[in-house]
Structure 1
Amino acid sequence: MSATVENTGPIIGIRHLQAALLFLAICVNYVARLNVSVALVAMTDAATSNPDFPEYNWTEAQRSYILSSFYWGYIITQFPAGFLVRRFGAKIVLFIPTFATAILSALTPYSISWGGWVAFSVLRVVMGLFQGLIFPCIHEHLAKWSPPKDRNRLGVFAYSGSDCGSVMAMGISGLIANSSMGWPGISYVSAGLCGIWCLLWLLFSANNAPSSRLVGQNERDYIERSMKREDGFHVQKIPIPWRAIWTCVPFYALLIVRCAQGWANSTMQLQTPAYMHGVLEMDIKSNALYSALPFVAMWFMSYIYLAFADVAMSRKWMSLTTLRKSINTVAYWGPAAALIGIGFLDKNQTALAIALMTINAGLNAGSGIGSILTIIDMSPNHSAIVMAITNGVGNIFPLLTPLLVGVIVTDTSSRSQWQIVFALTAIVFFVGNLVYIIWGTTDQQPWDAVDFLKPRDAELNQDAASDQREKSTIKAINTKAEKAI
């Protein structure tokens, strides 16, 4: 008797198209988010870029306000995003912030000429408010379209858009600043990229497989059957078990490890150009290109990690929890060691500094498989809400770290001051991953079950019925007693 072959849909299907659209969404929004670090160098040192455009004499404190301002808005909309995407779906909710980012990017040069660093900061706050909607949407959309067998591939591919966006933000921004467009061109190019993505998203995206006009019957059946069998995701209006989430130890381990990643990301993404310009004395063009190298390494290494994870899981070398913790350990503790080394280098060791920063970033690429996708493993039904919480709290640190760096680094050419910044980041990396190793897990949590709150509801109803029967009995006894009297 021949074995039944499981239908897994086409090898490349609409679920992969959705992941590609998510990849591009993260990419273009990251370009708009992160190009500020290179743009600031160009705006405040015209000699390193096209000198035909205005130069601004902003202090280090003012530059720190500009760098951190995005995150003041970003953390506010994380929680609303979780509810909005559950209510309206990812298609409309993800379109809105990207379209708004396009408009705000196009307005940036004019706003700076009108209101200086204050207007720039306000614009970045508003951009952060809109972009706070993005990652809960990404996680919800992945959960809707990613069968468990495809989750690593689709998730890693989608999230590698952050690496591509970082490469583009660092790599092309310096070239644009040196071109005839000058530093204003950085914002205009960002606006154009976001606008093109919006059109593609409207044409090809869908909230889930049943609502897609492009997906074939085989692929739809595969996705739906897999979801229902594994986690019941398509059951609608599942109550959120707030108390269970906030009393869950693995949830806190996940929250802490993501906070550590947020701290490290903001340090490396936003401060790298300032470190290279100040300590390594690199000009804006080479600064931008070399600043992009670590993110090229991250982009490449994310697929190396994915290949290893696929082989490890297919050959059953280890459990999913062990796999994620092992990869996350390499992704956190390796960069922690590299950061310590970077702090001891100066302009005479530029090549070694760039090499260590590239290794640092490449190793850290494993955080996607190591901890981000753990959110869907633990709670596919509430992934948007859990992502909103972890991303919201985790991004408090990117808000604070530029301000902290602004206090510590009063002279950007001081190697000893940068040593303190890198040492603090290394400590955060080490402690965050240690907590995750001890208490983290990929096991689907009991509170993620569709009927988790129903037993409690039934118990309450039973208690209410018992109280009602007791009241009826007492009333009957009192009535008899009154008649007897």
Structure 2
Amino acid sequence: MVNYLGRLNAAVSVVAITNANSTNPDFPEYKWNEKQKSYILSSFYWGYNLTQFLASYFCRTFGSKPTLLLSTMGSACLALITPASIAWGGWQVYCCIRMFQGLFQGMVIPSIHDHLANWAPIEERTRLGALSLTGMEMGALFAMAVPGLIAHSRWGWPGISFFSGGIGLIWCGLWILFANSNPVVSRFISQEEKLFILTSQKKTDCDRQKIPIPWKAIFTSVPFLSLVTVRMAESWGLSTLQLQIPTYLHGVLKMDIKSNALFSALPYVMMFIMAYVYLISADIVLTKKIVSLTVLRRTLNSIAMWIPSITLIALGFMDESHRLLAIILVTITIGVNGGVSIGSGLNAIDLSSNHAAVLMGVVNTVVSQTFMLAPLFVGIIVDDETDRSQWQIVFLVSALAFFLGNLQYIFFGTTNTQPWNDEDFYLINVLEKPNFIQPKSNRSSKSVC
């Protein structure tokens, strides 16, 4: 939640910084053009895509606790110095700050997936994973609702960064006190609970050795490549919505910054609510074994991406006279899209719990390219934020990404654990030294330990 707040609040703060008349006028106003704004919104992902693999290395070497602490604390500290940095160097320095925030936050998602892989019993993985990832929706909700109110208050637009950085540091303190990278080293759970988690995952206390990464098998795995593709498509559409909604509402629908922030947040209220609707529905379906996990993931992902592909096209035809309908369409588009968290969002852990952080490092490295390119694409297409026809092109491209990305996931996506997840896969298929491999009956994780 705190990381998504820091990631997405720029969409509102950029509007506040460049339009003093609609916010607290006691603070400086900067005349940045649309291209400069697009650089600011894109710059976070310039850094974000550079630390995904580093995160997987840190998680495998040091654990998810210190990795997630480093990423969150670094991002929070940079948020605190943002107002002074803008006063000193303008939009160029703001881009640098956002880029370094991206460097730190690039380690967040791989760390979370590594943490879930270590802590979630297999039968509770969907429930706990989806519950954890609702923090994204909550962070997006805060990022759209709170910054606009703060910018309108006596704190002005600098207060947005102070709030984001402050709440991030508070979380870091709680994480230091209570978190552990895995159940084996935790001081806060019983021996029975630890045994339950490890038994469910078919692991023992000493089963935390570092398994070699089968890179060739990963990059030639059809289910994994399908996951990468669908996450790219979803990220393109969602990043366009997350970063451009305030500008669209301000430019086309002529809404001021305060009401803009409130209505920009409404879709994320819907998204947060829908996340729990999806979560409870998935839990019931899996408990009663109505369909397989693969069918469930494909179905939820289809709902979450195909309905928004229709509403996005309709959104492009809205103007100032259709404010209410436009807000309803935006709310449906983003709210329904929350099902992706359970659809394809947890698929990396399904494919390989042993390499979950590595897989998410690869996925997020590729996905971050879309987060970086989408704002730049909008900057090229939209040179007049009040021109509805330009926004129609933006929304049509996002709708196509949603539709085609999910279509291939229906054909090729799966939740079956891949052969390269096994600790013996590297020995058998990569080293190809069968004379040095013990018989199968002697190669249990316990005997290895």
TM-score category of the 2 structures, normalised to the smaller one: over 0.9
Q: How far apart, in 1, do the equivalents of 2:399 and 2:153 lie? A: 37
Q: Contact 1:232–1:450 (CA<8 Å) still a contact in 2?
A: no
**Residue number in structure 2 paired with 1:226:** 200
Over alpha carbons, which structure has the higher Rg?
1
Q: Contact 2:67–2:107 (CA<8 Å) still a contact in 1?
A: yes
What value does the CA root-mean-square deviation take over the aligned residues? 1.4
Once the two structures are TM-superposed, the CA of residue 461 in structure 1 deviates from its matched residue by 6.3
Q: 1:458 to 1:56 in 2, by over 3 A?
A: closer
Please give the residue correspondences for 1:288-307 in structure 2 after superposition, counting only pairs within 5 Å. 288-307=261-280
Q: How far apart, in 1, do the equivalents of 2:275 and 2:226 lie? A: 23
**Residue number in structure 2 paired with 1:101:** 75
- Amino acid in the other structure paired with 1:140: D
Please give the residue correspondences for 1:160-179 in structure 2 after superposition, counting only pairs within 5 Å. 160-179=134-153
Q: Contact 2:308–2:332 (CA<8 Å) still a contact in 1?
A: yes
Q: Contact 2:110–2:361 (CA<8 Å) still a contact in 1?
A: yes
Q: Contact 1:103–1:191 (CA<8 Å) still a contact in 2?
A: yes
Q: How far apart, in 2, do the equivalents of 1:226 and 1:113 lie? A: 54
Please give the residue correspondences for 1:441-460 in structure 2 after superposition, counting only pairs within 5 Å. 441-456=414-429, 459-460=432-433
Q: Contact 2:428–2:434 (CA<8 Å) still a contact in 1?
A: no
Please give the residue correspondences for 1:432-443 in structure 2 after superposition, counting only pairs within 5 Å. 432-443=405-416
**Residue number in structure 2 paired with 1:158:** 132
- Amino acid in the other structure paired with 2:218: I
Once the two structures are TM-superposed, the CA of residue 359 in structure 1 deviates from its matched residue by 0.8
Q: 1:393 to 1:459 in 2, by over 3 A?
A: closer
Aligned residues: 436
Q: Contact 1:235–1:450 (CA<8 Å) still a contact in 2?
A: no
Once the two structures are TM-superposed, the CA of residue 234 in structure 1 deviates from its matched residue by 3.5
Q: Contact 1:38–1:174 (CA<8 Å) still a contact in 2?
A: yes
Provide TM-score, normalisation by structure 2. 0.95
**Residue number in structure 2 paired with 1:325:** 298
Q: How far apart, in 2, do the equivalents of 1:451 and 1:418 lie? A: 52
Q: 1:455 to 1:177 in 2, by over 3 A?
A: same
Once the two structures are TM-superposed, the CA of residue 187 in structure 1 deviates from its matched residue by 0.3
Please give the residue correspondences for 1:17-416 in structure 2 after superposition, counting only pairs within 5 Å. 27-228=1-202, 234-416=207-389
Q: How far apart, in 1, do the equivalents of 2:205 and 2:193 lie? A: 17
Provide TM-score, normalisation by structure 1. 0.88
- Amino acid in the other structure paired with 1:412: E
Work out the percentage of aligned pairs sharing the same amino acid: 51
- Amino acid in the other structure paired with 2:421: D
Q: How far apart, in 1, do the equivalents of 2:195 and 2:189 lie? A: 10
Unmatched segments (≥5 aa) in structure 1: 1-26, 464-485
Unmatched segments (≥5 aa) in structure 2: 437-449
Once the two structures are TM-superposed, the CA of residue 33 in structure 1 deviates from its matched residue by 1.1
1:72-111 CA deviation, whole Å, 9 max, x = no partner?
0000101111111111001111101111112101100000
For the residue of structure 1 that corresponds to 2:318, the secondary structure is coil
Q: Hey, which bits of structure 1, 4+ residues long, moved more than 4 A?
A: none
Once the two structures are TM-superposed, the CA of residue 458 in structure 1 deviates from its matched residue by 6.6
- Amino acid in the other structure paired with 1:313: L
For the residue of structure 1 that corresponds to 2:156, the secondary structure is coil
Once the two structures are TM-superposed, the CA of residue 453 in structure 1 deviates from its matched residue by 1.5
- Amino acid in the other structure paired with 1:292: A
Once the two structures are TM-superposed, the CA of residue 236 in structure 1 deviates from its matched residue by 1.3
1:175-225 CA deviation, whole Å, 9 max, x = no partner?
000000000000001111001000000000001111010011221111011
